[in-house]
Amino acid sequence: MVVGVPKESFPGERRVALTPSVIPSLTKAGFTVVVEAGAGTAAGYADAEYEAKGAQLLADRREVFAKADLIAQVLCYGSNDRTGKDDLPLMRAGQMLLGFLRPLGAVETVSEIAAAGVSSFSFELMPRITRAQSMDALSTMATICGYKAILLAADTLPRLFPMLTTAAGTITPARVLIVGAGVAGLQAIATARRLGAVTTAYDLRPAAKEQVQSLGGRFLELPIEAKDAQDARGYARAQDETFYQRQRELLGRAVAESDVVITAAVVPGRKPPVLVTREMVERMALGSVIVDLAAERGGNCELTRPSQMVVEHGVTIIGYINLASAVPYHASQMYARNLTSFLLHVFKKGQPEFDLSDEITRETLVTQGGEIVHPRVREFFSLPALPTQGTKKV
């Protein structure tokens, strides 16, 4: 089975799907790896390193698609809404695709992948179970985003993060508020604490309190209770507008008292809730910073502009997307390990055969045989249910 790694084509994307260090594990398991020349350069991985580990370099992107049984990417068509469609003519029926697909984004995109006869696997749909932890690329990238968000905030804030006692007097520590204590939020807490900031976090899920406190953060408790705060997969559930309105009222004071606010509240498949309003921003001190990790899907702050840094009412609001790409060396390394674990689990001895009775395989498979086959994706787009499937050979 041939795994192909083309160069990422999304503008500014510096990651690569596989790094040289994982090639020996794949070749030992029966895979052959072909890599487009220059695919890892932006992430810090030279072509010579791939060749030294046993990968075959191909000069042309078309050749990679023509030779590969499975295409491994970071941003596949779907999550890559800029240039991803250019890869569609290069795909063929029976080929496989693995990476971030944004399967709950647009039905037209997923349908086009299905119509090409491609069997696609989406990392966004990886089940949050113990067996799948080593394959959870979504959580891996969220970890990097949480880390990078704090560094951006610290670099932008006109204050120091730690408390300092100097001959010129004592400097009080910065106050950081994290809204949304998922994977990204928890990493943001850990990073802010390491830099010396007083860190507070809020999440509507009760289970988050213990996680926040275990990292040395303070948990902000609001006198409001969410209904069914999280689903069976561990993700936050969307609430009604009445809840969000009350939540904004109660968060207002905490936001106003913070030097830095990191928002990371995302509900899969839905527009992020607005948690920080214009009025809340107006009450923040001059020079304060907001980093909105939900910017790509609209943002948790009313004034966020995706992909931009803006200043409103003296507050800097950072809406950069694709933050993980800003740390491409380790982001690629971690992603490659996730991807390799998935390949070794799903494709035994490098053979293109997989079992849909396995939860990991079943939950990540989006398209197959010209159809959108994932039940949750079909339900999200109001498509009729398909007959129950068993073991399939691609």
* Total residue length of the chain: 394
Query: Catalytic: 136?
Result: yes
For residues 285-310, one letter each, b for 16 or more C-beta atoms within 10 angstroms of the residue's C-beta and e for the rest, the string is eeebbbbbbbbbbbbbbbbbeeeeee
> Is 244 noted as a catalytic residue in this protein?
no
- Cα 365 from Cα 355, distance rounded (Å): 11
**What type of residue sits at position 218?**
R
Strand, helix or coil for residue 208: helix
Beta carbons of 138 and 345 less than 8 angstroms apart: no
Per DSSP, which regions of 180-306 are E strands?
Answer: 198-202, 218-219, 260-263, 289-292
Exposure of 60 by Cβ count < 10 A (0-12 exposed, 13-18 middle, 19+ buried)?
exposed
Clarify whether 351 is annotated catalytic: no
Catalytic residue among 25, 62, 81, 128: 128
Question: Which residues lie closer than 8 Å to 92 by C-beta, 6 or more apart?
Answer: 65, 116, 117, 118
Q: Which helix (H) or strand (E) holds 72?
A: strand 70-75
Which entry of 50, 122, 136, 335 is annotated as an active-site residue? 136
| DSSP character at residue 276 | B
Selected catalytic residue, list 60, 82, 86, 133: 133
Whole-number Å distance between alpha carbons of 119 and 362: 12
Q: Using CA atoms, how far apart are residues 380 and 377, in angstroms rounded to an integer?
A: 5
Among 73, 79, 122, 139, which one carries the catalytic annotation?
A: 139
DSSP H helical ranges for 240-327: 241-256, 278-282
Task: Tell me whether residue 128 is one of the annotated catalytic residues.
Answer: yes
Identified catalytic residue from 81, 134, 235, 283:
235
Q: Could you tell me which of 51, 46, 21 has the C-alpha nearest to residue 34?
A: 51
Our answer to whether residue 235 is catalytic in this structure is yes
What is the C-alpha to C-alpha distance for residues 146 and 144, in angstroms, rounded to an integer? 5
Where in the sequence numbering do the catalytic residues fall? 128, 133, 136, 139, 235
